[in-house]
Amino acid sequence: MLFKVEMTVIPPAHLSEDEFNAIKLKEKNYAQELQKSGIWLHLWRVAGLYANVSIFEVKDNQHLHDVLMGLPLYPYMTISVTPLCQHPSSIK
Amino acid sequence: MLFKVEMTVIPPAHLSEDEFNAIKLKEKNYAQELQKSGIWLHLWRVAGLYANVSIFEVKDNQHLHDVLMGLPLYPYMTISVTPLCQHPSSIK
Amino acid sequence: MLFKVEMTVIPPAHLSEDEFNAIKLKEKNYAQELQKSGIWLHLWRVAGLYANVSIFEVKDNQHLHDVLMGLPLYPYMTISVTPLCQHPSSIK
Amino acid sequence: MLFKVEMTVIPPAHLSEDEFNAIKLKEKNYAQELQKSGIWLHLWRVAGLYANVSIFEVKDNQHLHDVLMGLPLYPYMTISVTPLCQHPSSIK
Amino acid sequence: MLFKVEMTVIPPAHLSEDEFNAIKLKEKNYAQELQKSGIWLHLWRVAGLYANVSIFEVKDNQHLHDVLMGLPLYPYMTISVTPLCQHPSSIK
Amino acid sequence: MLFKVEMTVIPPAHLSEDEFNAIKLKEKNYAQELQKSGIWLHLWRVAGLYANVSIFEVKDNQHLHDVLMGLPLYPYMTISVTPLCQHPSSIK
Amino acid sequence: MLFKVEMTVIPPAHLSEDEFNAIKLKEKNYAQELQKSGIWLHLWRVAGLYANVSIFEVKDNQHLHDVLMGLPLYPYMTISVTPLCQHPSSIK
Amino acid sequence: MLFKVEMTVIPPAHLSEDEFNAIKLKEKNYAQELQKSGIWLHLWRVAGLYANVSIFEVKDNQHLHDVLMGLPLYPYMTISVTPLCQHPSSIK
Amino acid sequence: MLFKVEMTVIPPAHLSEDEFNAIKLKEKNYAQELQKSGIWLHLWRVAGLYANVSIFEVKDNQHLHDVLMGLPLYPYMTISVTPLCQHPSSIK
Amino acid sequence: MLFKVEMTVIPPAHLSEDEFNAIKLKEKNYAQELQKSGIWLHLWRVAGLYANVSIFEVKDNQHLHDVLMGLPLYPYMTISVTPLCQHPSSIK
């Protein structure tokens, strides 16, 4: 089951650059594990913004929730979730 | 070069069902040709809405414009365009 | 899998009262069948508005989409969809 | 009398994790008492967000106000309130 | 139980002036009956707009809904509803 | 001359609970004096929110401004002002 | 007593150019009478838009309402009203 | 050349009352000089808000920009700018 | 003096394709004359939309207004106007 | 390939004036280098605001992203990006 998720990062003013870089490194590892396991299907940067457009393939809403709550950057992001399904004109 | 395009169809009140179905058939053929040629990379339906989330791979902004202007449903849609690029955490 | 769906009806100016009543009757039958089958779990009227708040229990996003597309009033409504899951403080 | 209440938590920057966890524990207890007493009728998590969709059954507007003002997380939430009533197509 | 209700009238283009005046007369009678019965507690015009600010005293959400659905101008208005209760600084 | 005023309180993070309570006590006294003098005609709490709906009867815009600027909670509120007048269907 | 009023004209599709010109001529005469009588104190065009920014000097809210309701273009405009008063830094 | 400028002051939390009063005094002097020189043509307080509606008469866009950037309160305000011109119904 | 003007065309439902094409041809001629005379400095299409971003160089606000009001497509467009000036980091 | 980019600077409260001036100087140098190299094609100040309207000529979305991410003021700005292309009425 597919979801489009859009995330915008708002770097926290109260963290040092080192602390924030440590969180970003964890985020990168987490994102790459989920990509390898086929859950984080697509991950694109929005040109010019500290934001991404992502497609997740998950078992259900709960699965999506758990995956997103595990994002190390979650406390520093705004997130929007859009459930997707098969388009009748898609050839896939 | 990738773009996210979101389209929402607003069926016109002044067309008959037959006229509108004819346009939708043209739209389907147009969408499938563009998918086969690798330009319309992804096409998903938004669950519950007469809307889609799409990813286009085009040569440049002009190419994207020409492709979208050719949509048979273009006069009956609202469209938003978001330029995408490589995400540093993407493994692709 | 649960979704909150909010629907607001915008009665069409180009239908006669009889035509619109016929559609509303179909909508009522459709809504009651889906309630009996356990898919349309809750259906409340928003006080003062021609609108409802609903909870659907469906198999997946595609199932939700198909159920909503089947609403006889679909062409005369605006719809918003919110995926739900278990709340850690819920006792159910 | 039913109300839909939507709550979004905005964790305060000036509290330590321990302090905030203590408040969240009180919130959980409060929420579970109200659920057992039949006032907090439904409580769902919004997938991907630190937010919930709730249905309250209360005696009147004042009762709803007093219940919401008692939420330990109240100072750290945005809240929207929608009065509900019987839907003519509901089978309940 | 009190509610603030704000109504804005959008005169319909497809009615003749006579037809619309007939509806406005019915609305006036309906509004005055509800004021005499103590349900429509306050009714003010918003200066410069075809809109009002009203306070209703009703038994419950359902009662409010039934009263508002009975407004002859209902199909030609946008409405917003806000549940009110006792303010701790009020001397009434 | 009547105005609807809506106020939403945003408690300041930089004040202690005692300091803020002292301001709220001043606000209550100020609100009750203005009610007794017939200027603050109505004062209702919005159910579920730290907000009120008020009706002021003042001599002119300047009078309204001076009264609102005198609110001890003024620096911690957002305010919206709507000028009101006689509604042709009002029986008062 | 001063009010800023902003008006945007939305020409009606169902009137002929002659009919609309006749209304605009009435509007011009009405606007000029009110300017001569000192009620419509200032009238500026917003550059590039079919809209104006106006200052009215009226006795009270009711007076403003009656003046605005008398505008021949009133049914074809959106209007916003802002009550003004003396600024402490004004030298007038 | 005329511009409407609307300014809303957001008092900074990090300044003491004395520091902020010193800036407000500078602002008052600056505003009065510009009024005397015929540049700040009108200055009205919005009733109930820490905001003003102003009309500036300047040589060009650059002149307006320089005048506004010189406002001592500029860092603590949100500003909106609307270019104005002659209204065909104005008698001035 | 420079202004950014953004225009979005909303094709009118009540015109035939021939009628609308005739207006678009006039628009093209008008736009090209203004470009040749140095008034319409830049004209870009927004990729994927029936919209443009334009830069006008005019004598004053009145000049801009007259130029925009002369657009043959003016009745079928929404327009936003932003006054520009010299940027301190510009090398031009 | 052209993009319109709009930037609004929000000066950070936690930096000293000297620290912020140092960043602004870096920004100026960076902006002037990009202008000289033909990438930052146009740079205008929005009159009255700490904001600019810019036109970038870049190779692709990625190039635009890299250029914008390099802005020394990037952490203190909100940015919007609009892809542009050839307008059929442009004479360039």
Q: Which of E12, E75, E79 sits opposite C49 (nearest CB)?
A: E79
Residue B44: give its domain's CATH number. Answer: 3.30.70.1060
I13 CA: distance to closest CA in chain J (Å): 23
- Tens digits of residue pLDDT in B50-76: 999 999 999 999 999 999 999 999 999
Q: Find the CB nearest D85 among C47, C86, C88.
A: C47
Task: Say if residue J37's pLDDT is above 90.
Answer: yes
Sign of CA dihedral G30, G31, G36, G39: positive
What size, in residues, is chain F? 92
Q: Counting one residue from H and one from I, how many pairs have CB atoms under 8 Å apart? A: 34
> If you average pLDDT over residues B23-41, what whole number do you get?
98
Contact between F53 and E83 using a beta-carbon 8 Å cutoff: no
Q: How far is C71 from chain B (nearest CA, A)?
A: 10
Q: How many domains does chain H have?
A: 1
Residue J88: inside a domain, yes or no?
Answer: no
In a domain, G91, yes or no: no
Q: Decide if J52 is inside a domain.
A: yes
What does each C-alpha distance from A6 to A82, G64, J68 come to in angstroms?
Answer: 9, 47, 20
Q: Does J8 touch chain I (CB under 8 A)?
A: no
Q: What is the pLDDT of residue C57?
A: 98
Which of the residues A26, A49, A89 would you substitute to probe the B interface, choosing the one with the greatest number of B C-beta atoms within 10 Å?
A: A89
Chains B and J touch (3+ CB pairs under 8 A): yes
Question: Do residue D83 and residue C42 have CB atoms under 8 angstroms apart?
Answer: no
Give me the pLDDT at residue G13, please.
79
Domain-located, residue A89:
no
- Chain-chain contact of A60 with C86 (C-beta, under 8 angstroms): no
Of D11, D13, D49, the CB nearest to A79: D49
Q: What's the gap in Å between the CA of A71 and the closest CA on chain B?
A: 13
C-alpha D9/C-alpha C3 separation (Å) is 20
Q: Which residues of C touch B16 (CB under 8 A)?
A: none
What is the β-pairing status of strands G40-46 and H77-86?
antiparallel
- Given phi > 0 = left and psi -120 to 50 = alpha, else beta, which region is G41? alpha
Find chains touching chain F: ≥3 CB pairs under 8 Å.
D, E, G, H
Q: What is the pLDDT of residues D4-55, one digit of tens each?
A: 999 999 988 788 999 999 999 999 999 999 999 999 999 999 999 999 999 9
Rounded CA separation G65/E48 (Å): 4
Confidence of residue J13 (pLDDT cuts 50, 70, 90): confident
Partners of F84 on chain E (C-beta within 8 Å) are 44-47, 53
pLDDT at D14: 80
Question: Does any domain span residue B13?
Answer: yes
- Domain of I36 in residue numbering reads as 2-83
Contact criterion met (CB < 8 Å) for J81 and B86:
no
For residue B22, the surrounding DSSP H or E stretch is: helix B17-36
| pLDDT value at residue E12 | 85
Segment A47-73 shows an average pLDDT of 98
Residue A90 lies in a domain: no
Residue I12 has pLDDT above 90, yes or no: no
User: What gap in Å lies between CA J89 and CA C79, rounded to an integer?
Assistant: 39
CB contact under 8 A, H87 and G47: no
DSSP E2-29: EEEEEEEE---TTS-HHHHHHHHHHHHH
Domain presence at residue C53: yes
Q: Which helix H or strand E contains B25, and what residues bound it?
A: helix B17-36
pLDDT of C13 higher than 90: no
pLDDT reading at E42 higher than 90: yes
Note which residues in 26-85 of chain J have CB less than 8 A from chain A: 61-62, 64-65, 68-69, 75, 79, 81
CB contact under 8 A, I35 and J86: no
The Cα–Cα gap between E86 and F44 comes to 6
The answer to whether residue D49 sits within a structural domain is yes
